[in-house]
Amino acid sequence: MSTPGLSIGVIGGGIGGLSAALSLRAAGFDVHVYEQASALGEVGAGVQVSPNASRILHRLGLGPALARTGVEPLAMHQRRWDDGRTLLRTPLAERLRARFGFPHYQMHRADLLAALAAALPAERIHLGHRLVDVVDHGDVVEARFAGGQRAEVDVLVGADGIHSPVRAALFGPTQPRFTGCVAYRGLVPAERLEHLSLEVTAQIWMGPGRHFVHYFVAGRRLVNFVAVVEQDSWTRESWTDAGDVADALAAFDGWHPQLREILKAVDGTFVWALFDRAPLDRWSSGRVTLLGDACHPMLPFMAQGAAMAIEDGATLAACLADAGAAGSAADPAEALRRYEQLRLPRTARLQAMSAENKTRFHLPDGSDQHQRDALMAAGRTDFSFDAVAWIYEHDAGVL
């Protein structure tokens, strides 16, 4: 069998799974996506699609769809929690396009998911398929689903999130770790906030033990916010639940009036416990591999979680296609090992940087905070233009 004819099953119909399916299909593979839910959907609200991810999506033909609902921010604006003083303002929009060749979008996660799904033939997406077992027979992988459905594929990809059943099947069940942060998330109709004259920027407000992010999505019709608070434990039954706006307001008592106005304008909010996992030593076993949050879940403090999953799919497709071109298509396991060797160091670095930003964003006022602010003013921290170059200039589809 030649590699371009490989059948590939992708477990998970989120952003990572669908974008991987598109990259694999563009490379000539026979791809099917299996999603446990009865309909595709995203619980989250906003997502950042930086040039390293938009480069891939544009190549897949999604440029027009992204432009319809995506918002190109003028800058990444980092500010002090109480007086709103600018700590660092990194230009984006045209300056970013000029340097990296592709745009940075702020999007509603549902809009991005819909664009990805629309680009795949409907018969390639199988809903209501909850994975219960994975059996690698050596020359074929069998995915078994609740209800008795089965699928046999040459390669199986687990794009099924931080609680990945594919990961558990490969390496045994383990629990993700609570990071000591919860996030209140919500969407506010933009007209309710017209009196604030909000800039079209991604604004990050830093303060003691917490931070607040807001930006426009959905063609500037909505303002997305994420309010992150340190918390010792998580006792709810679900890692995402309905939140209380009053609790969020209390957590940001004394913060800049702009943030409190945003919170007061929302109809309702979700509260999420933020979990992560330590980097894995490997992602693959035989003909089975992982991508996205299934293998490298990270805190959202570098705005790279979705981008890394999109990159994973592009590199996976390139490695499998290259294996076929090299004439080593009999066993795709070597291509999967190459994929993880290429991806693991980059994603582990971003996992670590995202975790470090929990400390940097949440420093109490004092000497460490003054030192941080001085470094930011000098442009020597992440999100400054030069500091993100290694992230944004990367082309994950080129080996």
In sequence order, what DSSP letters do the residues of 298-323 get, joined into one string?
Answer: --STTS-HHHHHHHHHHHHHHHHHHH
Mean pLDDT, residues 340-348 taken together: 97
Flag whether pLDDT at 4 surpasses 90. Answer: no
pLDDT at residue number 383: 66
Mean pLDDT of the chain: 92
In 39-154, beta strands by DSSP E: 46-49, 75-80, 86-91, 105-108, 125-126, 131-136, 141-145, 150-153
Flag whether pLDDT at 16 surpasses 60. Answer: yes
Backbone angles phi, psi at 392, to 5 degrees: -75, -30
What domains are defined for the chain?
3-175+277-392 (3.50.50.60)
Looking at the chain, the whole-number percentage of residues with pLDDT higher than 70 is 94
Flag whether pLDDT at 3 surpasses 50. Answer: no
Mean pLDDT, residues 90-102 taken together: 92
Flag whether pLDDT at 240 surpasses 80. Answer: no
pLDDT at residue number 91: 87
CA 293: distance to chain centroid?
8
Burial tier of 101 (Cβ tally within 10 Å: 0-12, 13-18, 19+): middle
Flag whether pLDDT at 42 surpasses 90. Answer: no
> pLDDT (tens digit, 9 = 90+) per residue, 133-152?
999 999 999 999 999 999 99
* pLDDT class of 377 with cuts at 50, 70, 90: confident
Q: Of the residues 34, 105, 184, 215, which is catalytic?
A: 215
> pLDDT (tens digit, 9 = 90+) per residue, 247-276?
999 999 999 999 999 999 999 898 888 988
pLDDT at residue number 2: 40
Mean pLDDT, residues 113-137 taken together: 96
* pLDDT class of 340 with cuts at 50, 70, 90: very high
> pLDDT (tens digit, 9 = 90+) per residue, 55-92?
999 999 999 999 999 999 999 999 999 999 999 998 88
Give yes or no for a contact between 184 and 271, defined as CB atoms under 8 angstroms apart. Answer: yes
pLDDT at residue number 5: 74
User: Within 151-244, where are the H helices?
Assistant: 165-171
pLDDT at residue number 325: 61
* pLDDT class of 1 with cuts at 50, 70, 90: very low
Crossing angle of helices 15-26/109-118, nearest 10°? 30
pLDDT at residue number 379: 73
* pLDDT class of 385 with cuts at 50, 70, 90: confident
H/E segment holding residue 290: strand 288-290
Flag whether pLDDT at 326 surpasses 70. Answer: no
Q: Is 34 an active-site residue?
A: no
pLDDT at residue number 241: 75
Flag whether pLDDT at 41 surpasses 80. Answer: no
* pLDDT class of 239 with cuts at 50, 70, 90: low
Q: Alpha carbon of 23 to those of 18, 58, 60, 205, 320: distances in Å?
A: 9, 11, 7, 36, 11
Mean pLDDT, residues 322-326 taken together: 75
